[in-house]
Amino acid sequence: MKTIKNLAVVLTVTLFGFSNSYAEDQPVKDLLVEYINAINNVGNGTSKEDVLALFNDRYVSNIATVRLSGTVRRTTAGKNEIATLIDEILADEKYTFRMTLDQVLHVAQKDRAGTVSALVNFESRIDDKLAEKGTIMMNLVATLVNGQWKIIHNNTVRVSEASDVGNCVTYIYGKGTTKFVTETYFPAGVEYGQNFEAFRVTVRDGRRVIKSDSNEFSWDGDGNLSYNGEVVGAAEEGREAVEMAVRHLYKESCVKIVFN
């Protein structure tokens, strides 16, 4: 009986060690972690070439982006688009992007190929203001090429969950050349905010002004638009001047404003 117990212990230890060794031999999972770390540190010890070296030349990514507004955008990217993205990160000192591995959901590892499904959190900032925060469902495929594991395919669903600064949309409704109403949609945390504001071009004490519900801009004869003594733009027509005013009023929330 003692011999049987000893044999059982040996078999248990052997099998446990074997299963642990097999679980740890997951190059595709290691590659995912390496990719996240490389993106997080690009420009800070990690070069553009270091990141691109992780990808197969035939790399393709299918991306579905669910925006904060609820709209969905689908795109396809390759290795060249990854290079462009890295260039944009490196070119803008005010912009930061960081990913954090939340959970590995599934790993299928073969001798020469493997796939990993994971939930990744991400956050981007502009001037230390939250540009976007959310999650990425990532399904990454890697293959062994000349002794090195490379990412060859990636299907991702990117869901935006919060933003304090980002792209905005403003609709301008005009009555003649002196009266305008604006409807602006802007990032406001976990949802998009909406503001209506009326603008009127008038002359007061011989000075041309653009007055809104709570703000006033000076608009001189040369077309310069000023707010509290600071020139914020120049315009020839009333609608254009209102656009300049909106850009200034939403400069803390809007990186870009599309006017309709």
**Closest CA relative to residue 134, chosen from 161, 157, 155:** 161
DSSP for residue 46: B
**CA dist., res. 231 & res. 206, Å (int):** 19
How much is the pLDDT for 126?
Answer: 84
Using 70 as the pLDDT threshold, list the residues of the chain that sit under it.
1-24, 190
- Measure CA of the first residue to CA of the last residue in the chain; give whole Å: 85
How much is the pLDDT for 8?
Answer: 40
pTM above 0.75, yes or no: no
AA letter at 150: K
- Identify the residue whose tokens are 């004869």: 221
Q: What sign has the CA pseudo-torsion 221, 225, 245, 123?
A: positive
How much is the pLDDT for 24?
Answer: 56
DSSP for residue 165: S
Q: Are 178 and 202 in contact, with CB atoms under 8 Å apart?
A: yes
How much is the pLDDT for 20?
Answer: 37
How much is the pLDDT for 18?
Answer: 34
Tokens linked to 96: 């930061």
Instruction: Show the domains of the chain with their CATH numbers.
Output: 26-162 (3.10.450.50), 166-259 (no CATH)
How much is the pLDDT for 205?
Answer: 86
DSSP for residue 1: -
Q: Are 221 and 206 in contact, with CB atoms under 8 Å apart?
A: no
> Per-residue b/e over 8-21, b at no fewer than 16 CB within 10 Å?
eeeeeeeeeeeeee
Q: What are phi and psi of 130, to 5 degrees?
A: -65, 110
Cβ-Cβ contacts under 8 Å for 222 (sequence gap 6 or more): 234
How much is the pLDDT for 5?
Answer: 38
